[in-house]
Amino acid sequence: MGAGKSTVGAEVARRLGRPFVDVDDELEHAHGAIAELFETRGEAAFRELEAHTVRDLCGRREPSVVAVGGGAVETEGLVESLDALVVHLEVTFEAARERVRGSGRPLARDGEELRRRYDLRRPLYERVAHARAQDADDVVLRAAGIRLAPRLEASGEALVADERVAALHALDATHLVPAGEAAKTVSEAERLWRALRLERSARLVAVGGGSTTDLAGFVAATLSRGLAWVAVPTTLVGQVDAAIGGKTAIDLPEGKNLVGAFHWPEETVIDTTFLETLPDEERANGLAEVVKTGLLAGERLWELDTGHQVRRCAAYKAAVCLRDPRERGERAQLNLGHTFAHALEAASDYGLAHGRAVALGLLAALRLSGLAEEERMVEEVLRPRRADVDRDRAWAALERDKKARAGSPRLVLLDAPGRPRTGVELPEAELRSALDALIE
């Protein structure tokens, strides 16, 4: 009790677009005040009512977020039997005692009894919980299968790694792939399809930047009609964006990510110590995605230190993707700036760095949105330089964009920071002018 389950649970439910239910509220609505239940029926009877309510709520078909009373773990086998992600929201005894002081909770009236219950329940929480959390970001990350680990903690029957990362970190990789966008080709996918000898119960682990996880995830999605896989992103782009949400793909000469599949990783392991060896250019690439996420969230995430940038960006994207896992609606907002960026990358034969392309794409999107202050911020923070590519090739790639309809691109614009608008169609002349302004 006093861990903040009701507050955090409601926030998690809002982010995931799911109903929120508090077991204590449900009990009081159906049976009266909990304090009276304890006094008139006793704790044993209360626990029976609680167990019945928990099973009913967690057994419903509609996914929801449920805040379970702190004492539910004392009912043997109850929490273990639930078909649910169980998260232990951690709190110190001192904080819990202060929060429940004067609350009228039956078990909070006696300080010694509160301490006894805290000590009794703590090992029970540790036994039944799939994850621990301090706040809503932690819960969302675990709901998406994302784990922030202090070191590489992922094992599988096959390890696919970026050749540079494998050399730099002395990884014993069974399959090496080229660094960067050169990995995302039909020939590289075919090479892995032929080389991998995995049973359908096996796991494939991908270690590298966004291109490595895109390729390996696509191979996992298609080989043997789908293998489990684990993403271990090693770049800022991968940790804040590319390795989250289950999008996998390879490129074609006509456009970026034109062949792919939605195939969520079984787990995404984010080890920020990999970023310590990241070249400055790669950090700049990742910062463009941080700025994009900050504009969508309405938060100045680019001003945070790297660790907090990664955590907050990953949690934001995870929540959007959990609400719309197959991009049938609001997930499209994550393409802010990317329609132009992908066109520039394709026109450069993928020689243009992704982050530099995204920075240019954000400039175009903000200009079209009429947000001059945010446009200046992108100029100052990302310092984008115009791309040296063929205009006609860039326009052809823009028309071929996956989100285009009848050859007309659909853009993501902002009404204001934190207020994205998707599916925006603009006149061809306006689009061409915006694209031309990004090219030398």
CATH number at residue 233: 3.40.50.1970
Please identify, among 248, 276, 304, the residue that sits at the C-terminal boundary of a domain.
276
CA 338 – CA 317 distance, rounded (Å): 15
The overall longest dimension of the chain from CA atoms, in Å, is: 80
* Residue 402 confidence (pLDDT): 67
State whether 289 and 437 are in the same domain: yes
Alpha-carbon torsion (291, 278, 184, 264), positive or negative: negative
CA 354 – CA 360 distance, rounded (Å): 10
Angle in degrees, CA 141, 251, 236, rounded to 5: 35
* Residue 428 confidence (pLDDT): 92
Helix (H, G, I), strand (E, B) or coil at 188: helix
Percent of the chain at pLDDT > 70 equals 98
For the chain, what is the domain count? 3
* Residue 103 confidence (pLDDT): 72
Among 110-114, 209-213, 280-284, 411-415, name the one with the lowest average pLDDT: 110-114
Helix (H, G, I), strand (E, B) or coil at 306: helix
State whether 436 and 304 are in the same domain: yes
CA 292 – CA 412 distance, rounded (Å): 11
Q: Is the pLDDT of residue 151 over 70?
A: no
pLDDT in tens, 64-79: 999 999 999 999 999 9
Please identify, among 228, 260, 276, the residue that sits at the C-terminal boundary of a domain.
276
Q: What is the mean pLDDT of residues 289-302?
A: 98
Q: Is the pLDDT of residue 106 over 90?
A: no
State whether 284 and 432 are in the same domain: yes
How many CB atoms are located within 10 Å of the residue 148 CB? 18
Instruction: Identify the band that residue 439 occupies on the pLDDT scale cut at 50, 70 and 90.
Output: very high
* Residue 110 confidence (pLDDT): 77
Phi, psi dihedral angles at 347 (to 5 degrees): -70, -20
Angle in degrees, CA 256, 261, 264, rounded to 5: 120
* Residue 405 confidence (pLDDT): 73
CA 317 – CA 329 distance, rounded (Å): 14
State whether 240 and 129 are in the same domain: no
CA distances from 278 to 230, 291, 324 (A): 21, 18, 31
Q: Is the pLDDT of residue 298 over 70?
A: yes
Q: Which residues pair with 249 in a beta bridge?
A: 260
Q: Is the pLDDT of residue 150 over 80?
A: no
Token pair listed for 39:
């006094």
Q: What is the mean pLDDT of residues 82-104?
A: 89
Mean pLDDT of the chain: 93
Instruction: Identify the band that residue 35 occupies on the pLDDT scale cut at 50, 70 and 90.
Output: confident
State whether 174 and 228 are in the same domain: yes
Look up the domain containing 245 and give its range: 144-276
* Residue 125 confidence (pLDDT): 95
The 3-state secondary structure of 94-126, one letter per residue: HHHHHHHCCCCCHHHCCHHHHHHHHHHHHHHHH
* Residue 1 confidence (pLDDT): 85
Q: What is the mean pLDDT of residues 244-257?
A: 94
Instruction: Give the best-scoring range by mean pLDDT among 55-59, 95-99, 134-138, 154-158.
Output: 134-138
User: In CATH, what number is assigned to the domain containing residue 135?
Assistant: 3.40.50.300
State whether 254 and 397 are in the same domain: no
Q: Is the pLDDT of residue 18 over 70?
A: yes
Phi, psi dihedral angles at 250 (to 5 degrees): -125, 165
Instruction: Give the best-scoring range by mean pLDDT among 56-70, 282-296, 402-416.
Output: 282-296
Closest CA to 154 of 3, 301, 268, 69: 268
State whether 285 and 272 are in the same domain: no
CA 101 – CA 239 distance, rounded (Å): 41
Please give the distance of CA 244 from its chain centroid, rounded to a whole number: 5
Please identify, among 94, 115, 142, the residue that sits at the C-terminal boundary of a domain.
142
* Residue 272 confidence (pLDDT): 95
Q: What is the mean pLDDT of residues 367-388?
A: 97
Q: Is the pLDDT of residue 27 over 80?
A: yes
* Residue 82 confidence (pLDDT): 92
Token pair listed for 239:
């940790």
State whether 177 and 104 are in the same domain: no
Instruction: Give the best-scoring range by mean pLDDT among 93-102, 103-112, 388-397.
Output: 388-397
How many CB atoms are located within 10 Å of the residue 296 CB? 22
Instruction: Identify the band that residue 329 occupies on the pLDDT scale cut at 50, 70 and 90.
Output: very high
Helices and strands: H and E segment counts in the chain: 18, 14
